[in-house]
Each structure stands twice: as structure tokens, then as C-alpha cells.
Structure 1
């Protein structure tokens, strides 16, 4: 097993109930632009060589964060390694939103990327994304937890106290920032968004965390790995917020490639991820704060099964055409 922490059938309370009572696993719903002859739920590499793309510059984007400039520096050494492995110039693309990242992939302007957990199925089905790697700890374990946080002086001490208050989500495609907490609140607490509590969309986990601390929101659903990194950088401090709910572990950001890159180039990119030496790099310094120390291989079919099921429980469909 690749992971010791990630257990897709053991999600806490309502999320666990949603998964165990589902009679089927949600499946991929690829756009008609793609084929899946091998049945692995991701777009095939085109069989027609004339459709292969071999750009002189590879464009890489990391999932949206509050300050993309910070992550341009974090990823710089890795992108130099990627350039050496592929013989390409590599450009960091500082996306401002999940929607912008998805659109760049679909339009062919993005070649290599890390998509947030809930955004991976959208990228796979609508953009031809082929995920192959995830960050993991030295022992191979990986993942993060969804937390619902509030300001210490908000008067919110339990999930029930969210009634009549404002809860911030990140974006509709986010797993921990929207889909998982929505399933939890609906099935365990009988609470519907904009009926039993007010909602807001902050755009990113960073924004949600800072919004709670600054009292822009009464509470927020976040990925705790983001909070851990913000704490380590001194952006926020211990005690700035309180946690009222913590889920079991979900897979974190998936790294992958556009389906129509030249097959040899796809192999070179994958090899670059798995051969990268993290020791003493900015990547190690940043992601050690959330326990990560290497890239390990994953498959969308296996490792995103729980995320597809949560999306299905929320009635998510992929009308990409």
C-alpha cells in the first residue's frame, strides 16, 4: 500500500455514512473530446501523432494560493530540475483561481500541474488531465484532513452552532473546501447551505483561514495542511482560530500532465517528479511543514475513488461539452 494514513472507507460520522451506504462507486464522465480505451478513467494519449503536443516551453501551475509569488520561489528548484530532465524551458504560471487553472488546462495553455483534491475530477473529465503523483511523507503516508474552524470569540463551539451563522467555503470544486463539508452538514446535521446557514466563497484555503481570523467569516471549511504551512511561515499563530470538526484523511494535491503531450515528453516529466532530490530545497522547507518529503505514484481510478463518491453524493456532474 502507498499510504498508511489514507483510509477511504473510514471517513468520520456523516461522510463515513455517505460512503458506506452508497450502493456504487461514482465513475468518470470524460468529455466526448477524449477516449478511454484502457478503462483507467483518464483520457488516453491520442493515437494520432499529429495531435501530440511538444511545446518549447512547459507551463506549470500549482493549485491557487493567496500569494502565488511565494510558491513561485518554492517551486523554482524543482522546475529547474524538470527543465533539465525534459530539455525544455519551464515557466511557473501563478493562477489566481481554480476556475482559471481549469480553463488554462482545457485551452491547452497548461502542460504540468498540481490540482487540488476536489478539482482533480474536473480536470480529468473536462481537461484531459492525467494525474500520476502525490506528495507523501518519508514512510509513504499522505493526505490531509478537512477541518471546520472558527474564531475563538465567535461563540461557535459545535457544528450545531453553525445554524444561522456564516460558513465560508473555498470554491465549488474543492473537496475539503466545499463538497465534503456539504455532505457532512446535510446528512449528519440536516443543515442545508443558504437555508440553515449563510455561505460565502473565499477563493482559497488561505483566504478562508485569514477571513476567520479577521472575523470576516464566522467559520470556514479548510484543508489543515494549508494551515500547517501558514503556521510554519509565521503568517498565522497558534490560537488564532479553533477547530470544531476534523475529518479522516483525504488524498492531497495530485500532480499530472495534459493528455496530448508527446508520449516521450510525458515519460520524461514523470521521471523528473520521481527522481527529484528534495534534500535542502525550498520544496522540502515548505512542504515539510505538512509532513511531505517525496513524490509517490498514484492512479486516479484507485486513489480518487472516495472523492468521486463524495462528489456523487453532492449531485456533481461533468457537463464539459
Structure 2
């Protein structure tokens, strides 16, 4: 029951919307988005490491957080072996921080309580510009392919067969910083269907993709915008079944969770952390068991400047600004 009824390239959507004057897609230099707390002298769109060694941080315990999920305790176990590997590679104690919301994760980074993290796709620009996040890795398949699609789902017999049927109904988002859980569907619904959130359809914010999926399955929400990578993992764990919901829209492929670190870590420690990601052996690990069902089998190097270009375009389309100071 997961055959998408409608698939549309976001590149075409955004281009047509720009021509129609719905939103401006003018290029914005990254340095203009960064908080005044940071500098970007090399032009790579992320905060430089401090040039003053006295500002470097070298904690005894590294704190790691994965993007918020419905049950953080499940992912504490999923990440346990990797964090042991990270501890061995750095000589540091490593603590898993089970964040409850995107806002809590962003605040922990900004306050200096979070050193290594995986931020959700839409939250990466916020973490980069407001928290000095330096993304360097992403999960990928064995062949190097990566990413996920935004899907709009509904429960069977909801009366919603197409995106246009969302008019007058309720659509659940995850959080305002989420790409697939808010920004991408917001741009789509307005530009392609003329549906404005809060005017043409009711909105709710669930806090996570897991919550949105469960909310639709339990008929708490008429529909929801989700990341299908999360749905695949929930299906593999038998949290939901293939008959529990229908997909009425599937987007183009977006980059998935970005892994990175705080910009003020001691450069030697920062390098050890990056090396740990790329030297990790997935075979037989809990990470492999959890993420294989959504296609991931390794960490690959990324850059914010290149890999998050489409996400920044969508953010621009939604009029997103980063007033961090």
C-alpha cells in the first residue's frame, strides 16, 4: 500500500514557484548566515576552528547525541558499539545524550554541552549557523548512494487520496527546523497546490518522524509529512506494518542526517573523531542491524557547502533566516 500516488521533483517545483514570484531564491553567501560568534575565513560555509588555542576545548568526556526519535533509549543501544569505538579512538569517555527534541539538541550544541552529533537534515543549517556545527559525514549504502525521500502519508480510508485532498484536513509536521517534516512539504503545498498551513489545512507538530507515523497509524492525525528512512526502520522493527498507512506523495532524494562536531574542539581531537567515523566496521554491528533496512552501510565524507545546497534553497523558499545572536 506504499505505492506513491504522486511524485514531483522539488527542483521543478522551486523553479516554477520562483518564476511565479512565490518566493525569492536569490543566492545567499554562507558567511552572512553565520552567527557573529563565528568566522568563515576559508569560505566553506561553516564556522572555522578558533585560531586562538586558549579557546580550544578538550573535554574528558565527549557527549554524543543522535537526532530526536520517539524512543531515545532504543538508539542508546544502537549507538553503544560505535561509541565504544569512538572512545577507543580518542581515549575519551563517551556519553550518549538522549535528546527529546530538535530544540533541545540545538541548545545543547550552542551552550557547549554537546561535542559530537547527528542532526536531522533541516536542522543542519540551524546547527551550522547558530551552533558552530561542522558536519563531515553521512550514512550511505555500500555503493556510496545516500539520502531519503519526504513522503506524505495518511491512514487507509481517511478519504485523502491526493495531496489536494489535504484541504480542510489536518497535516502533522515534526518540527519547524525539519526539512522533510516541515520545510519541504510547506514549500510544496504552497507553491504547487496553493495550500497554506493554518489557513487551508490544520497543522500539528509531533516532535519526531516516529511520532508522526504512529499518529497517522493511530488516526490521531489525518496525514503527516515524514522521512521515509524512518518509516523503513520502523517497518523493519515491526513497530508498524505496511498496511497501516498509504503514501500519497514522494519527493526527490534529500541528504540524510549529518554527523559532525563542535567547532571549538582541539583540532587533534577533532581529527580523531572524524577518523573514528570512517574507520568504524559496520559488519555485525547494531548500527548495521538498525540502518541496513533504510539502505545505509557506511559513513562517507560530505561538505555542507555542496551536499546541503538543495536544503538551503528550500529554507530560502520558506523565508528562513538565522537570527542567532
Q: TM-score range by the shorter chain?
A: over 0.9
Write the distance in 2 (CA, Å) between the matches of 1:283 and 1:119. 22
Closer, same or farther: CA 18–306 of 1 in aligned 2, 3 Å = farther
Residue among 24, 27, 33 paired with 2:26 = 24
With normalisation by structure 2, the TM-score equals 0.94
Closer, same or farther: CA 43–202 of 1 in aligned 2, 3 Å = same
Partner of residue 271, structure 1: 275
**Counterpart check, 1:80 vs 2:84:** yes
Residue among 251, 255, 267 paired with 1:251 = 255
The CA deviation at 1:23 is 5.4
**Is the contact between residue 148 and residue 221 of structure 1 (CA under 8 Å) also seen in structure 2?**
yes
**Is the contact between residue 117 and residue 261 of structure 2 (CA under 8 Å) also seen in structure 1?**
yes
Unaligned runs of 5+ in 1: 1-8
Aligned length: 313
With normalisation by structure 1, the TM-score equals 0.95
The CA deviation at 1:17 is 3.5
The CA deviation at 1:153 is 1.5
Closer, same or farther: CA 15–238 of 1 in aligned 2, 3 Å = farther
Partner of residue 139, structure 2: 135
**Is the contact between residue 278 and residue 284 of structure 1 (CA under 8 Å) also seen in structure 2?**
yes
Unaligned runs of 5+ in 2: 1-7
**Is the contact between residue 171 and residue 222 of structure 2 (CA under 8 Å) also seen in structure 1?**
yes
**Is the contact between residue 14 and residue 317 of structure 2 (CA under 8 Å) also seen in structure 1?**
no
The CA deviation at 1:16 is 5.6
Partner of residue 235, structure 2: 231
Write the distance in 2 (CA, Å) between the matches of 1:25 and 1:155. 40
**Is the contact between residue 119 and residue 175 of structure 1 (CA under 8 Å) also seen in structure 2?**
yes
**Is the contact between residue 190 and residue 196 of structure 2 (CA under 8 Å) also seen in structure 1?**
yes
RMSD: 1.4
Q: Secondary structure at the match of 2:10?
A: coil
**Is the contact between residue 211 and residue 217 of structure 1 (CA under 8 Å) also seen in structure 2?**
yes
**Is the contact between residue 25 and residue 316 of structure 2 (CA under 8 Å) also seen in structure 1?**
no
**Counterpart check, 1:309 vs 2:323:** no
